[in-house]
Amino acid sequence: MVGNFQSQKQHLLQELLRSGVHDRRVLGALERVPREQFVDRIYMNQAYDNVALPIQMEQTISQPLMVAVMTQALQLMGNECVLEIGTGSGYQTAILSQLANHVYSIERHPQLLWQAAQRLHALNVENVSLYVSDGSAGWPEQAPYDRIIVTAASSEIPEPLLAQLAPRGIMIIPVGEPRRQELLRVQNTFFGPRTTMLGGCVFVPLVHDVELSKGDEMKGSREQS
Active-site annotation, residues: 62
Nearest to 151, CA basis, from 88, 58, 218 = 88
d(CA 20, CA 199): 13
Contact present, 152 and 133 (Cβ < 8 Å)? no
In three-state secondary structure terms, 205 is: strand
Contacts 24+ apart (CB under 8 A), 167-174: 169/144, 169/145, 170/73, 170/74, 170/75, 170/146, 171/147, 172/70, 172/73, 172/74, 172/147, 172/148, 172/198, 173/148, 173/149, 174/150, 174/201, 174/203
The residues near 163 (Cβ < 8 Å, ≥ 6 apart) are: 138, 143
Instruction: In whole angstroms, give the CA distance from residue 225 to residue 137.
Output: 22
What region does 36 belong to: left with phi over 0, alpha with psi -120 to 50, or beta? alpha
Q: Regarding beta strands 102-107 and 165-177, do their DSSP bridges make them parallel or antiparallel, or are they unpaired?
A: unpaired
